[in-house]
Amino acid sequence: METANFPQQQPIIPQAVNLMSYHADEKPYNNKTWTVLIPAINKSIFIISLLVLCLIDIPYLVKVPSLFIFFIPMVISILLFVVFLYIENDLKQSYKNSRSLLDILFVVLITIRNILFFLNVLPVIQILGIFAVGVLCIPYIIIYVFAIHRRDKASA
């Protein structure tokens, strides 16, 4: 009995799509997460925080100067907010032409951080904000730095 000699077919294996980085042979990717969403989150919460600080906290401090001790953490949280805005503006320039699954994590981390900074500017809820920042500060920084490192490694 003779068997027909059919050419042996190679198994079809789909190529893995690397969503972690942008490759030079691909068309440039305009990352809306870093160019639109994250700056919008940062700017909106920062402006609201500044308005609360200027329109509520400072007039209240003028009426009750003994509450100056609570005003210091408010100013410190605004200054830390500015530091993170500067860092993320720099990251925006680095990540605007690439995409990563970590971008979702950055949106979540930035939103949580901005809400905590906003809590530190609210006069009545400030104690909750200080407690939350105190408890979450070290884990947040570790996750944030690790995510930046992984994102940079994937983009390279």
Residue 27 lies in a domain: no
- Where are the alpha helices (H) located in the chain, listed in sequence order? 32, 38-52, 58-63, 68-95, 102-119, 126-155
Residue 20 lies in a domain: no
Residue 14 lies in a domain: no
What percent of the chain shows pLDDT beyond 90?
52
Over the stretch 83-102, which tens digit does the pLDDT of each residue have? 999 999 999 988 988 888 89
E strand or H helix that includes residue 137: helix 126-155
Our count of domains for the chain comes to: 1
Residue 67 lies in a domain: yes
pLDDT of amino acid 4:
61
HSE toward the beta carbon, residue 147, CA cutoff 13 A: 20
What is the pTM (predicted TM-score) of this model?
A: 0.76
d(CA 148, CA 156): 12
d(CA 133, CA 42): 17
Residue-number span of the structural domain to which 141 is assigned: 32-155
pLDDT of amino acid 148:
93
Coarse DSSP helix, strand, coil percentages of the chain, rounded to the nearest 5 percent: 70, 0, 30
Residue 19 lies in a domain: no
Q: Specify whether the CB–CB gap between 98 and 27 falls below 8 A.
A: no
pLDDT of amino acid 17:
42
Residue 39 lies in a domain: yes
Instruction: Determine the average pLDDT of the residues in 110-128.
Output: 89
List b or e across 28-49, with b for residues whose CB sees 16 or more CB atoms inside 10 angstroms.
eeebebbeebbeebbeebbeeb
